[in-house]
Amino acid sequence: MDEQDVFFTQAVVGAPFSVLLGRRLSQPATVAQGLEVDMADGAPRMSPSWQAWVIERMAEQAPGVPRRRPSALRRWLERHALAIAVLGLLALLAGAGLAAWSQGWVALLLQRLPW
C-alpha cells in the first residue's frame, strides 16, 4: 500500500473507528490509523492495525506480479466526478424543460401567471 492508496482509503471510507478487518479495536487504537510519518527523519510507516491488512492483501497476490493501477480513464472520471454529476443534472433539467415546451405546458404556465 502506498501513500495514494492510504489517502484514497482514508478519504472514501474514513478512519477505522471501532472495527478494522473484522477485529474490534481498543479505544487507544482508534485514535490514529493509517500512514504515520516520523517528523525526525521523515520515514513513513503504517500503523500496526494496517500492517496486518497489507500483509494479508499481499499474500493473495502471486510473487512478482505488480499491483494493477487504475486506468487513465478511471482516474480522470474519479477526479471529475462532481462536474460530471452536475452536467448530468443540468442535462436532465434541460430535457424536462424541452419536453414541457414541446407539450405546451410552458405556454399554459405563462398564460396563468399574473404578468
pLDDT recorded at residue 20 = 47
> Is the pLDDT reported for residue 95 higher than 90?
yes
What is the pLDDT at residue 32? Answer: 59
With 60 as the cut, is the pLDDT of residue 71 above it?
A: yes
- Cell numbers describing residue 99: 419536453
Q: Average pLDDT, whole number, for the chain?
A: 76
pLDDT score of 88 more than 90? yes
On the 0-12 / 13-18 / 19+ scale of CB atoms within 10 A, 108 is exposed
Least confident of 24-28, 34-38, 60-64, 76-80: 24-28
Per-residue pLDDT, 93: 97
pLDDT digits (tens, 9 = 90+) for 43-56: 777 777 676 666 66
Whole-model pTM: value is: 0.42
Extents of the domains making up the chain: 3-60, 72-112
